[in-house]
Homo-oligomer: A and B are copies of this chain.
Amino acid sequence: MKYTTAQAIQILERTPAVCTALLAGLSDDWVMQNEGPETFSPYDVIGHLIYGEQTDWVPRAKRILEFGNSKTFDKWDRFAQYELSKGKSLQQLLAEFAEERKKNMIWFKSLQLTETDLDKKGMHPVLGEVTLRNLLSTWVVHDLTHIAQITRVMAKQYRSEMGPWPEFFRILNF
């Protein structure tokens, strides 16, 4: 599947609603547990997505459009949400994510990116040269894989209640 901005927006625009449908109103047993040290709970994931909206995808896209590969992206803290989400309810985080994403979608749609824009290069501090197309595709994949993570983490909480059934669920060993 080739990247198109129209199809990327189809996913990016709906992710906050998906997260809300998935998590709003659940008991803490479902949303506060993770997969072990340095892994995310569903609650952590929403904070991580907010931080991404504020500091990763859009700032990096802007840097590519403004500086090309002459100015390396800032490094990104995968664990920033442990601090930033403190004291906030999941409901607050879901609303905050929806708001940040909405703002970013307005900006993103206003760009009217061409194929030439998508080929523009930027410099990732670890991965080296990347294109704007790579960055935007990864933004979409980052949404989708974090939804997969949220549901996998929740599924694992019932593993011990399933009797012999886990052997049919390869994903529980991921």
Contact = CB atoms under 8 A, between A and B. Distances in A.
Interface in A123-149: 124, 127-128, 130-131, 133-134, 137-138, 140-142, 144-145, 147-149
Nearest to A170: B174
A7 interface: yes
* Contact residues on A (Cβ < 8 Å of other chain), bracket: 35 or more
Of A11, A133, A172, most buried by chain B (CB within 10 Å of CB) is: A11
B145 A172 contact: yes
Interface string A34-52: 0000000000000000000
Interface stretch (A80-88, A91-99, A105-113, A150-158): A150-158
Contacts of A1: 29-30, 33, 157-158, 160-161
A32 to B, nearest CB: 11
> Is chain A's interface secondary structure helix, strand, loop, or mixed overall?
helix
Interface in A8-40: 10-11, 14, 17-18, 20-22, 25-27, 29-30, 33
A147 to B, nearest CB: 4
A151 B142 CA distance: 10
Contacts of A127: 163-165, 167-168
